Structure 1
Amino acid sequence: MKSRSPADPRGLIHESFRIDGITMAECRSIFLDWAMSLPEATDQRGALRDLIARHADRCEGHPMLAVLREGLAETEAPRRRGGRAARIDEG
């Protein structure tokens, strides 16, 4: 067993990999708790990369690994629609 990582000081992510039958929804809840408990100055993307590297080799297919990868994925910034297009529903 690997020791705790500075990226997971409370061991939340580590322990989630040890829970048999854990669901994607439970993993997302644990992930949110982990993210909210990190110190403000923490590089969250770096922490995610570290956690993925620590667990990917032995936990492929685990729902928490999928959640970590989702957290690392780039999200497109919302684009503001202005003028007439913002006021009229095109659907």
Structure 2
Amino acid sequence: MTADRLDPKGLIRESFRIEGIGEPECRSIFLDWALSLPDGSDSQQALPLLIERHASEPDDHPMMAVLREGLGQVGGPKRRGGWRGRRGR
């Protein structure tokens, strides 16, 4: 069996097979998935491919929501205020 570069441990695949799974369990599985990616892998590149792979799964499945949420939470650092944030203006 060849290793799946998008889901090395099969965690995401198996999460869709667990009957009655909730969002907290899916978040925990997602974290384990992210930590199990091989060095040099980019989760932000893998997420759209995983979503596409599991597009036939129910749209209201908690793991699908977690995967989509994972796409939207990456952003640059936010300004926290203080004199350093205003310096140079």
Shorter-chain TM-score bucket reads: 0.7 to 0.9
**2:58 paired residue number:** 59
User: For 1:60 and 1:24, how far apart are their aligned partners in 2?
Assistant: 13
Q: Give yes or no for the alignment of 1:46 onto 2:45.
A: yes
Counterpart residue type for residue 30 of structure 1: I
State, as a whole percentage, how many aligned pairs show the same letter. 57
Structure 2 contact 16–57 (Cα < 8 Å) conserved = no
User: For 2:74 and 2:9, how far apart are their aligned partners in 1?
Assistant: 27
Structure 2, gaps ≥5 residues long: 84-89
**1:28 paired residue number:** 27
Residue 75 and residue 65 in structure 1: after superposition, are their counterparts in 2 closer, same or farther (change >3 A)? same
Aligned length: 81
Counterpart residue type for residue 58 of structure 1: E
Q: How does the TM-score come out when normalised to structure 1? A: 0.79
Q: How does the TM-score come out when normalised to structure 2? A: 0.80
Cα-Cα RMSD: 1.9
Q: Which of structure 1's runs of 4+ aligned residues deviate more than 6 A?
A: none
User: For 1:11 and 1:28, how far apart are their aligned partners in 2?
Assistant: 15
User: For 2:82 and 2:48, how far apart are their aligned partners in 1?
Assistant: 37
